[in-house]
C-alpha cells in the first residue's frame, strides 16, 4: 500500500461545549436566588435576603451540575478530573476567604484612626478621643529588635552545630530540646522570663528586656529549625570542594556554607520575627502596660502593640468607640509592620540567593 488509510485510534470522546459553563452558572445563580427568596418570604423573621446563602447554594448547584454534565458528555476519566479540580479550587477558596475577610475588616475599621496623631502621640493623659500608639510602636520595635538580637546568633550557631559538627548524644539532646521548645505555650515563656527577673530584681519587676527574653524563648527554636533546613540543603559537594582546596572547616562553614544558605536563613529569620511580633500574653506579664512612652527597655514598663490592642479593647473608657477605633488601628499597624518585614525578606532572598 502506498498511502496509509487514516484511522481513528486516537480520537477522544466529545468535550463540553464552550457555552455550557457560563449558562450553567447563570442557571445555578437564578435557581439559588429563587429558592432563597421563597424561603425568606415564608419565614416572617427574615428581614432581608442572605447573600452568603445565595452564593453557597449557587456554587454547590453549579458544581454538581457541571460534574454531572461532564460525566454524561465526556465520560468517567475527564469528569473525575473536573471533580478534583472543583474540590481543590473549593479548598483554596475556603482557605483564602477568611484571610481576605480578616484583612478587609482590619483595614476598614482601622482606617478611622490611621492618622498622624496615632503615630506621634502616646496615651499619656488621654481620656476619650485622641491619643495614639507612639509608645506602643516604640515598645514593639525595641522589644522585637532585642529579641531578634538575642535569638538570631544563638539560633544560627545552634543550627551550625547541629548540621556541621554535632554527633552523638549531645546533638540528639539539643535536637530534642529544640523540639520541646517549639511547643512551649507563649504564656509559659512569659512566666519563665518573669520568674527569672524576679530572682534578680525582686517581685513586681517590669522591664522591656524581660519581654525580649520571653520572646527569644519562642523565637530561638523557629530560627534553629529554619536555619537547619537551609544548611542541610547546601550540597555536600561544596563542602568537599572547599576542604580539597585546603580550607579549614570553620572557614568552609563561614565562607562557603553560610553564604550559600544566606537567602533562606534571612527568610527564616523574618518568618520567626513575624511569628513573635504579635505575641500578647508574655508581654502582658513581664513588660506590663503603660500609657507613657518609655525608650529604655532596661527600666520600667513598656507598652507594645499587641498589648495596646488588648488593653484598648478590654478597658474601654467613657467614650467607648474611640478606644475600639484605636484598637483596630493598632491591629492594622501591626499587620503593616509584618507585611513590611515580609517584603524585606523577599528582597533579601532575591538579592542574596546564588545566581546562575
- Other CB atoms within 10 Å distance of the CB of residue 345: 19
Residue 239 or residue 301: which is nearer to another protein going by CB? 239
Beta carbon nearer to another protein, 98 or 168: 168
Min dist. Cβ of residue 355 to another protein (A): 5
To the nearest whole angstrom, how small is the minimum distance from the Cβ of residue 262 to another protein? 8
Q: Which residues are within 8 A (CB) of 299 and not within 5 positions of it... i.e. 6 or more apart?
A: 207
Place of cell 544563638: 154
Minimum distance, C-beta of residue 255 to another protein, in the bound complex (Å): 5
- Closer to another protein by CB, 259 or 317: give it: 259
Task: Give the H or E element holding residue 350.
Answer: helix 320-352
C-alpha cell, 266: 534571612
Rg of the chain on CA atoms, in Å: 29
Say what the alpha-carbon torsion angle 182, 183, 187, 188 is, to the nearest 10 degrees. Answer: -90
Least distance (Å) between residue 349 CB and another protein: 13
Q: Find the shortest distance in angstroms from Cβ 60 to another protein.
A: 50
Residue 18 vs 167, nearer CB to another protein: 167
Q: How far is the CB of 234 from another protein (least distance, A)?
A: 9
Please give the Cα distance from 175 to 136 (Å, whole number): 36
Q: How far from chain centre, in Å, is Cα 149?
A: 21
Q: Name which of 240 and 319 has its Cβ closer to another protein.
A: 240
What's the min distance (Å) between Cβ of 243 and another protein? 6
Q: How many CB atoms lie within 10 A of CB 22?
A: 9
Going by C-alpha positions, the residue among 287, 331, 329, 307 that lies closest to residue 147 is 287
* Nearest CA-CA partner of 185 in 281, 305, 286: 281
Alpha carbon distance 67, 330 (integer Å): 46
Q: Give 287-302 as a 3 state SS string.
A: CCCCCCCCCCCCCCCC
- Nearer to another protein by Cβ, of 130 and 166: the residue is 166
Closer of 267 and 290 to another protein (Cβ): 267
Binding-site ranges for another protein (CB under 8 A): 167, 235, 237-248, 251-252, 255-256, 259-260, 262, 354-356
Q: Residue 34 is placed in which grid cell?
A: 429563587
Amino acid at each position: 500500500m502506498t498511502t496509509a488509510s487514516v484511522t481513528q485510534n486516537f480520537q477522544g470522546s466529545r468535550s463540553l461545549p464552550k457555552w455550557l459553563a457560563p449558562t450553567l452558572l447563570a442557571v445555578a445563580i437564578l435557581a439559588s436566588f429563587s429558592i432563597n427568596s421563597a424561603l425568606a418570604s415564608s419565614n416572617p423573621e427574615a428581614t432581608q435576603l442572605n447573600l452568603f446563602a445565595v452564593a453557597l447554594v449557587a456554587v454547590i448547584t453549579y458544581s454538581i451540575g457541571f460534574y454531572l454534565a461532564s460525566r454524561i458528555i465526556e465520560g468517567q476519566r475527564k469528569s473525575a478530573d473536573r471533580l478534583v479540580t472543583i474540590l481543590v479550587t473549593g479548598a483554596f477558596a475556603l482557605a483564602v476567604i477568611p484571610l481576605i475577610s480578616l484583612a478587609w475588616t482590619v483595614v476598614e475599621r482601622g482606617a478611622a484612626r490611621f492618622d498622624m496623631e496615632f503615630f506621634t502621640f502616646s496615651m499619656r493623659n488621654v481620656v476619650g478621643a485622641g491619643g495614639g500608639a507612639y509608645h506602643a510602636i516604640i515598645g514593639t520595635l525595641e522589644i522585637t529588635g532585642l529579641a531578634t538580637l538575642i535569638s538570631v546568633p544563638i539560633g544560627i550557631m545552634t543550627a551550625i552545630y547541629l548540621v556541621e559538627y554535632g554527633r552523638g548524644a549531645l546533638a540528639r539532646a539539643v535536637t530534642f530540646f529544640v523540639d520541646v521548645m517549639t511547643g512551649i505555650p507563649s504564656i509559659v515563656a512569659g512566666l519563665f522570663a518573669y520568674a527569672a527577673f524576679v530572682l534578680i530584681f525582686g517581685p513586681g519587676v517590669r522591664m522591656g528586656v524581660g519581654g525580649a527574653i520571653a520572646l527569644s524563648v519562642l523565637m530561638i527554636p523557629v530560627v534553629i529549625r529554619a536555619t537547619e533546613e537551609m544548611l542541610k540543603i547546601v550540597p555536600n559537594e561544596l563542602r568537599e570542594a572547599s576542604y580539597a582546596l585546603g580550607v579549614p572547616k570553620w572557614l568552609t562553614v563561614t565562607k562557603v556554607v553560610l553564604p550559600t544558605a544566606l537567602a533562606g536563613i534571612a527568610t527564616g529569620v523574618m518568618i520567626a520575627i513575624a511569628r513573635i511580633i504579635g505575641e500578647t500574653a508574655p508581654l502582658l506579664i513581664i513588660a506590663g502596660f503603660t500609657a507613657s512612652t518609655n525608650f529604655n527597655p532596661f527600666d520600667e514598663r513598656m507598652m507594645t502593640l499587641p498589648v495596646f490592642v488588648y488593653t484598648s479593647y478590654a478597658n474601654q473608657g467613657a467614650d467607648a468607640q474611640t478606644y475600639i477605633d484605636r484598637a483596630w488601628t493598632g491591629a492594622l499597624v501591626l499587620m503593616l509592620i509584618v507585611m513590611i518585614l515580609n517584603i524585606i525578606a523577599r528582597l533579601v532572598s532575591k538579592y542574596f540567593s546564588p545566581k546562575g
